[in-house]
Amino acid sequence: MSFDRHLVDPARSAQMARVRGKDTKPEMVVRRLVHAMGYRYRLHRKDLPGKPDLVFPRLRKIIQVHGCFWHQHPDPACRRARIPKTRREFWVPKLEGNARRDIENERALQKLGWDVLVVWECETTPSRREELVWKLEEFLGS
């Protein structure tokens, strides 16, 4: 099936244009928490596979903050990770490709000697903040 530009919904297009790759709300939550704990980090290092979100060079640790939808959070309880009902022929391969790339990047980072923690968007909500702090402390402190 070919993609016809004139069939694109303007509202959907406007919404997709607002999607960010860096400095997302979940990423900013994690950055503020980690900074408040006293840790300092580098952002989006281009010399590492996948340009990780937060890099702690001295600790050899990396935190990746993944959006539940874009990276397909595997938790069945996560409602944000559902695949759209329309244009599934576009979305399924795209989202599966994102998840596959995430796994490849994580393996490459581990091969280079980095410990990797993935924080999902749904874990950054205010109701789960205490649990997230514990998870970050556990990862960075060990």
Going residue by residue through the chain (142 aa), what tens digit of pLDDT does each one get?
Answer: 455 555 667 776 666 666 666 779 999 999 999 999 999 999 999 999 999 999 999 999 999 999 999 999 999 999 998 988 888 999 999 999 999 999 999 999 999 999 999 999 999 999 999 999 999 999 999 6
| C-alpha–C-alpha distance, residues 49 and 114, integer Å | 11
Question: What is the number of alpha carbons within 13 Å of residue 102 lying toward its C-beta?
Answer: 23
Range of the domain at 125: 21-141
| C-alpha–C-alpha distance, residues 119 and 138, integer Å | 13
On whether residue 7 sits in a domain, the answer given is: no
Query: Which residue reads 């900013």 in tokens?
Result: 28
Question: Could you give the number of structural domains in the chain?
Answer: 1
On whether residue 34 sits in a domain, the answer given is: yes
On whether residue 9 sits in a domain, the answer given is: no
On whether residue 56 sits in a domain, the answer given is: yes
On whether residue 13 sits in a domain, the answer given is: no
On whether residue 14 sits in a domain, the answer given is: no
On whether residue 1 sits in a domain, the answer given is: no
DSSP 3-state assignment of 52?
Answer: coil
Q: CA separation (Å) from 136 to 3, 10, 86, 93, 114?
A: 43, 40, 37, 32, 16
67 and 24 Cβ atoms separated by less than 8 Å: yes
| C-alpha–C-alpha distance, residues 25 and 19, integer Å | 11
The CATH number that applies at residue 66 is 3.40.960.10
Nearest to 139 by CA among 51, 34, 7: 34
On whether residue 2 sits in a domain, the answer given is: no
Beta bridge partners of 64: 118
122 and 80 Cβ atoms separated by less than 8 Å: yes
| C-alpha–C-alpha distance, residues 33 and 123, integer Å | 13
